Amino acid sequence: MFAVFRREIQSFFTAPIGYLIVGLFLLLNGLFLWVFKGDYNIFDYGFADLGNFFLLAPWVFIFLIPAITMKSFSEERKLGTLELLLIKPISIWKMILGKFFGTFSLCLIAIIPTIIYVFAISDLGIIPGNYDLGVVLGSYFGLLFLISAYVGIGLFASTLSENQIVAFIIGILLCFLLFNGFDAFSTLFPNGDTQLQIQQLGARVHFDSIARGIMDTRDLIYFLSIAFFFLYLTHARLSRLTQ
């Protein structure tokens, strides 16, 4: 597994893709939070907190993570190297987990520089340092769990086609449906209880709960279950391809 993980990390940073993804994530968040006028702009928001960043980041990752994972198995299938990987003394699960942790690590590298936003927000407040650190830590924690679900979805999408663009589009659609689809679908029902039950199936409610600093094991189990479910589908798909 470590060999696959190392291979993934090297592939990201020996080519422009790794630097491009990290740079694009930081650029988009920086522009929307600090430069562009709008709902996400911190200066227009009027409060010295990072709430807008944690509203924006899940949407940015909906596009960036499928862009990272689209080549994970699509490229291997197209180049015929998937069979070479599978005949090596490594199980399918170890190969999947190696790619999973490789992509997750790249996303983590993209997030780390945003810690500077915490210090910026601290200085912007009327009373420097007067912000809820628990909420900030909870939001970062929730974002990591959301990323794990996105990565699982992206890896599964990459097994569905040899065409990376098709895998990219499928990944975006599945991530969007997970994060916002259930919320949108719930509006079709007039009953408030029914709406709430449907929303609980989506990732947005669980992410918002963690982002408020509430560490509920049900939310953590939800994201881990989603990630494992799609990794299982990835394993099943690869097993079928090798038959």
Model pLDDT for residues 57-106, shown as the tens digit of each residue? 999 999 999 999 988 888 777 766 666 666 666 788 988 999 999 999 99
> Measured on CA atoms in the order 230, 232, 233, 237, is the torsion positive or negative?
positive
- Of the pLDDT bands very low, low, confident and very high (cuts 50, 70, 90), residue 169 is very high
- Distance, in Å, from the CA atom of 14 to the CA atom of 203, rounded to the nearest integer, reads 33
Gyration radius of the chain's alpha carbons: 19
Q: Which two tokens stand for residue 239?
A: 């097993």
pLDDT at 14: 80
Domain count, the chain: 1
3-class DSSP assignment, residue 143: helix
Q: In which domain, by residue range, is 220 found?
A: 1-241
Look over the chain and give the mean of its residue pLDDT values, rounded to a whole number: 84
pTM above 0.85, yes or no: yes
Residue 70 or 47, more confident: 70
- Distance, in Å, from the CA atom of 52 to the CA atom of 74, rounded to the nearest integer, reads 34
pLDDT at 176: 95
Model pLDDT for residues 126-152, shown as the tens digit of each residue? 555 556 677 788 888 889 999 999 999
